[in-house]
């Protein structure tokens, strides 16, 4: 691999199996060239060798994916807000956020998280039928138990999908401790979460806005412990960096604007609306498309909305040749609960 910049020459032999040769690896080279001028030599070495594990033939996949998602987001803001971009900015010393930048009259602090899906994938691959719930349904456990008995009576198995809302709660709590307090109305605090396929993104939306969701009026967690988080961005960057060689329809993996991203403002944030609007102009989002997308059917409107991401992607994007997501038929029938 060529050195990330002329200023700091690094010779790297890529052994990481999650960085296949070809367009994906070349995209990583360009991304490193974009962000390298903003890093000290030590930070660059840490990024290449300890985070991305580029010379490691046996890295932990979850660690690599976190680093790839984080780098994709940071490089985007380094590219478009070059003069004000700060890598690993210590806005609340001694802790730091992944990056910050300025746009207009505001400073934006960005923290990036990406879940380890290992346990979820084991459940998905090892179960004949899977039932999932959007949000925290009060009768979910009883419903699952009854359905499991029914499935068992005909010789089939049904497993509940792994619920990951506690991970999102932990991300919010952790980001809260890194961000300036709610009283600072010149700084806007953003948590970016890397998600998987359209169905998975729908679940993460439910963790925020569904029954007892974290951004609902009846959150299962303490809102005061994430009050400094003004905005959550759900993006499918995990999906776009996971198993790259199996997703031939995807291109521009390292380009944030090629991802499918959705904004969710914290309803308890008291920051000026102009701050949200300014940040929204810094990336490509699909909030408007999803808000106007209609699903035909007799189900209640709220139930239809819990399917809108998957429906929009499969019925609008893929037929028109837009591939934010890799089209992939499900290996098993899944029952979705709303």
Tens of pLDDT, residue by residue over 18-71, are 999 999 999 999 999 999 999 999 999 999 999 999 999 999 999 999 999 999
CB within 8 Å of 234: residues ≥ 6 apart: 193, 195, 201, 204, 205, 208, 261, 262, 264
Contact 256, 73 (CB under 8 A): yes
For 2, the 3-state DSSP assignment is: coil
Predicted confidence (pLDDT) per residue in 112-164, tens digit = 999 999 888 777 776 667 767 777 777 767 776 777 777 777 667 777 767 89
Residue 96 scores a pLDDT above 80:
yes
- Residue 148: predicted pLDDT: 72
The mean pLDDT of 224-228, rounded to a whole number, is 97
Helix (H) / strand (E) containing 113: strand 106-114
Going by the DSSP 8-state scheme, the letter that residue 51 receives in this structure is I
Going by the DSSP 8-state scheme, the letter that residue 9 receives in this structure is -
Band of residue 4 on the pLDDT scale cut at 50, 70, 90: very low
Where are the domains positioned within the chain? 1-59, 80-118+162-337
DSSP string, 211-272: BT-TTSTT-SS-GGGGTT--EEEEETHHHHHTTGGG-TT---TT-GGGS-EEEEE-TT--S-
Residue 326 scores a pLDDT above 90:
yes
CA distance 260 to 233: 10
Residue 335 scores a pLDDT above 60:
no
- Residue 147: predicted pLDDT: 72
Band of residue 10 on the pLDDT scale cut at 50, 70, 90: confident
Residue 286 burial (CB count, 10 A): 18
Band of residue 1 on the pLDDT scale cut at 50, 70, 90: low
More confident residue, 147 or 219: 219
Predicted confidence (pLDDT) per residue in 268-277, tens digit = 999 999 999 9
Residue 217 scores a pLDDT above 90:
yes
Predicted confidence (pLDDT) per residue in 293-321, tens digit = 989 877 666 666 778 999 999 999 999 99
């Amino acid at each position: 691999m060529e050195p990330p910049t002329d200023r700091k020459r690094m010779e790297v032999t890529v052994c990481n199996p999650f960085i296949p040769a070809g367009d994906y690896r070349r995209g990583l080279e360009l991304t490193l060239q974009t962000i390298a001028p903003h890093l000290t030599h030590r930070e660059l070495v840490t990024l290449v060798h300890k985070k991305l594990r580029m010379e490691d033939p046996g890295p932990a996949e979850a660690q690599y994916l976190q680093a790839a998602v984080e780098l994709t987001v940071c490089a985007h803001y380094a590219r478009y807000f070059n003069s004000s971009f700060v890598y690993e900015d210590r806005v609340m010393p001694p802790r730091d956020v992944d990056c910050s930048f300025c746009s207009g009259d505001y400073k934006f602090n960005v923290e990036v998280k990406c879940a380890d899906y290992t346990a979820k994938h084991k459940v998905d691959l090892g179960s004949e039928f899977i039932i999932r719930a959007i949000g925290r349904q009060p009768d979910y456990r009883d419903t699952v138990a009854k359905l499991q008995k029914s499935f068992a009576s005909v010789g089939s198995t049904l497993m509940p999908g792994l619920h990951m809302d506690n991970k999102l709660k932990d991300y919010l709590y952790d980001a809260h401790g890194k961000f300036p307090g709610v009283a600072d109305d010149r700084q806007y605090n953003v948590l970016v979460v890397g998600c998987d396929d359209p169905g998975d993104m729908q679940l993460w939306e439910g963790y925020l806005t569904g029954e007892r969701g974290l951004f609902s009026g009846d959150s299962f967690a303490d809102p005061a412990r994430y009050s400094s988080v003004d905005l959550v961005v759900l993006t499918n960057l995990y999906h776009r960096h996971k198993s790259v060689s199996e997703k031939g329809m995807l291109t521009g993996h390292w380009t944030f604007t090629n991802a499918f991203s959705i904004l969710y403002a914290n309803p308890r944030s008291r920051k000026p609306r102009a701050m949200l609007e300014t940040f929204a102009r810094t990336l490509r989002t699909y909030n408007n498309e999803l808000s106007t997308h209609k699903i035909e059917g007799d189900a209640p409107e709220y139930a239809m909305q819990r399917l809108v991401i998957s429906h929009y992607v499969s019925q609008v994007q893929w037929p028109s040749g837009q591939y934010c997501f890799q089209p992939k038929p499900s290996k098993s029938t899944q029952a979705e609960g709303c």
